[in-house]
């Protein structure tokens, strides 16, 4: 895979943002999502998840993901516009995840968004998926999820509409942000809005991948993270002592493949454990405790060293209840303000892409949006290996 720098057009920021309405697309992995965002408000955000489809294969199959995005993108976009009650002529800009992600999956949303921008003659902006995660903890979910939105409506996939939300940056403060998902684990210092620096990231497996792979070793279905969370609730986290990789490494990097290997050898040597339901719960609690311990300890250490008073967290693993409560406990103890992404916004969604895109577009030079999409933005390509700097 070729890794290259971002081709997103650079934007000049001013201090006088103007309200803009953005149509945002997210297809970096296995969620097809489209959102409409206006002036910091999420008017609609529709997510069509492919989890059930990929569960059969024990992981995301890129070619299948791309086909599903292709099938679902238009109905998801139509639903998002309808629910937002926004006409295409009211849009001021179009955004899409440019990277990182699965190339074939990214292509679907990115090219569709560029085509929409071209037809609507509106500015187009490519967004770094991880940069968008950084701001999702600042989105407060305010609406109530209507019952109808919990049902599967698109091709029998599990679809959900994220409740209406509002991004509130009025009390924004510098923070250390933990992004923790199936593909990534990283710590980022967010010094001010739209200004950040990556402190460390995983050298091998991501934390979510560790949940999923150790779960698979125990015979749990993909993705195992939520099931480990559930089983761990009635397990003893001290029953088994698994390693805490890089806990005292002196840097902000992570490594979880050693923990996975340790669980593999432990189960090879103690296969009978898997015949005992309580032992499985204990295993889940012990593995979860090791992952959470590393994540929380390193996050707090980075926050202390960075001299910030705020910690934020986002990404699918932030749904984990032990991680949420342990972050809360330690942040309270150490005097940090904690902002966790709302559960519905932890996993991949276009709302966070739209919020960041709107933020960037709204702060365009002198508050005047370009009347046309730039040819540079329409010619730009996906960037599957786009590393957040």
The residues of the shown chain that bind ligand KG4, judged by CB under 6 A, are 29, 181-183, 208, 211-212, 223-226, 229, 315-317, 319-320, 347-348
**The entry of Zn ion, ligand KG4, none that residue 110 binds, CB within 5 to 8 Å by partner kind:** none
Alpha-carbon Rg for the chain, nearest whole angstrom, is 21
Are the C-beta atoms of residues 340 and 371 closer than 8 Å to each other? Answer: no
Q: Which is nearer to ligand KG4, 60 or 361 (CB)?
A: 60
Distance CA 288, CA 308 (A): 27
- Closer by beta carbon to Zn ion, 86 or else 186: 186
Q: Are 158 and 165 in contact (CB under 8 A)?
A: no
| Closest to Zn ion by CB, 262 or 314 | 314
At closest approach, how far in Å is the CB of 250 from ligand KG4? 27
The full DSSP string for 126-188 is EEEHHHHHHHGGGEEE-S---GGGGS--STT-EEEEPPPEEE--TT---EEEEEE-SS-EEEE
Is the Cβ–Cβ distance between 300 and 122 less than 8 Å? no
> Among 32-40, 175-183, 201-209, 280-288, which window interacts with Zn ion (CB under 5 A)?
175-183
Q: Which is nearer to Zn ion, 252 or 348 (CB)?
A: 348
Interface with Zn ion, residue 229, by CB under 5 A: no
Residue in the shown chain whose Cβ atom is closest to ligand KG4: 316
| Partner whose footprint covers residue 93, from ligand KG4, Zn ion, none (CB < 5 to 8 Å by kind) | none
Q: Is 368 helix (H, G, I), strand (E, B) or coil?
A: coil
**Which window, 15-23, 137-145, 179-187, 198-206, contacts Zn ion (CB under 5 A)?**
179-187
Near Zn ion by CB under 5 A: residue from 33, 50, 181, 363: 181
- Is there a contact between 111 and 124 (Cβ–Cβ < 8 Å)? no
Map the footprint of Zn ion across residues 294-353, applying CB under 5 A: 348
User: CA angle, 320 as apex, 388 and 249 as ends, to 5°?
Assistant: 55
The reply on whether position 383 binds Zn ion by CB under 5 A is no
């Amino acid at each position: 895979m070729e890794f290259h720098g971002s081709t997103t057009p650079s934007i000049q920021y001013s201090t006088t943002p103007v309200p803009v309405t953005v149509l945002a697309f997210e297809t970096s992995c296995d969620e097809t999502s489209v959102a409409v965002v206006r002036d910091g408000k999420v008017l609609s955000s529709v997510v069509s998840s492919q989890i059930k489809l990929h569960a059969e294969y024990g992981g995301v199959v890129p070619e299948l993901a791309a086909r599903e995005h292709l099938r679902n993108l238009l109905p998801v976009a139509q639903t998002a516009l309808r629910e937002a009650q926004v006409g295409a002529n009211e849009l001021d800009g179009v955004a899409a995840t440019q990277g990182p992600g699965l190339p074939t999956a990214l292509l679907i949303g990115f090219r569709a968004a560029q085509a929409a921008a071209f037809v609507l003659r509106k500015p187009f902006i490519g967004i770094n998926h991880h940069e968008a995660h950084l701001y999702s903890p600042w989105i407060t979910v305010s609406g109530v999820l209507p019952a109808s939105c919990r049902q599967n409506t698109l091709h029998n996939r599990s679809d959900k509409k994220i409740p209406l939300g509002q991004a509130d940056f009025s009390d924004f403060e510098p923070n250390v942000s933990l992004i923790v998902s199936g593909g990534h684990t990283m710590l980022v210092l967010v010094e001010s809005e739209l200004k950040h620096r990556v402190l460390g990231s995983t050298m091998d497996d991501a934390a979510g991948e560790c949940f999923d792979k150790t779960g698979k070793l125990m015979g749990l279905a993909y993705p195992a993270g939520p099931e480990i969370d559930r089983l761990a609730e009635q397990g003893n986290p001290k029953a088994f002592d698994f390693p805490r990789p890089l806990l005292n490494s002196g840097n902000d990097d992570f490594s979880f493949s050693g923990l996975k290997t340790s669980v593999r050898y432990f189960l090879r040597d103690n296969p009978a454990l898997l015949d005992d339901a309580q032992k499985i719960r204990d295993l889940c609690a012990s593995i979860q405790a090791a992952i959470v311990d590393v994540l929380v300890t390193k996050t707090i250490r980075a926050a202390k060293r960075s001299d910030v008073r705020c910690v934020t967290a986002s990404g699918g693993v932030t749904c984990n209840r032990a991680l949420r409560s342990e972050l809360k406990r330690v942040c309270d103890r150490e005097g940090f303000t904690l902002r966790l992404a709302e559960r519905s916004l932890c996993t991949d969604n276009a709302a966070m892409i739209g919020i960041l895109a709107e933020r960037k577009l709204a702060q365009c030079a002198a508050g005047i949006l370009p009347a046309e999409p730039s040819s540079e933005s329409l010619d730009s390509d996906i960037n599957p290996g786009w590393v957040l700097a």
